[in-house]
Amino acid sequence: MAHTFAELVEKQRAADEAHARMRKLRDAYGPPTQTKWSDQQTTTWETAWRAWRDLARDVQAALTAYARQEDTPRQEIEAEVKEAVQREDPDGNER
């Protein structure tokens, strides 16, 4: 599947946002080994974790495909994507 660089940046941003949501839930609920989570809290956190995991997996697959398509080392593409995500605000504007 062909991807554009902009699509990779968008996928990485979505994965980063999902990871941030998961961390916020964990911080709000407290460490699961030290705090008893309700069934609802556990379900909410697990859903957030699965969303992050799936998005992160999709980013990794897309990075690999794009690197192969561009005949460029994967780690270079990944670094460029992460740099682009950091340079842009959530609305896609350069900082």
pLDDT 10s digits, 20-43: 999 999 999 998 888 899 999 999
- The pTM score is 0.84
Burial bucket for residue 65 (CB in 10 Å: 0-12, 13-18, 19+): middle
* Residue 59 contacts residue 8 (beta carbons within 8 Å): yes
Greater model confidence, 75 or 90: 75
Looking at residue 33, its pLDDT comes to 83
- pLDDT at residue 10 is higher than 50: yes
Whether 73 has a pLDDT exceeding 90, the answer reads yes
Q: What's the mean per-residue pLDDT of the chain?
A: 91
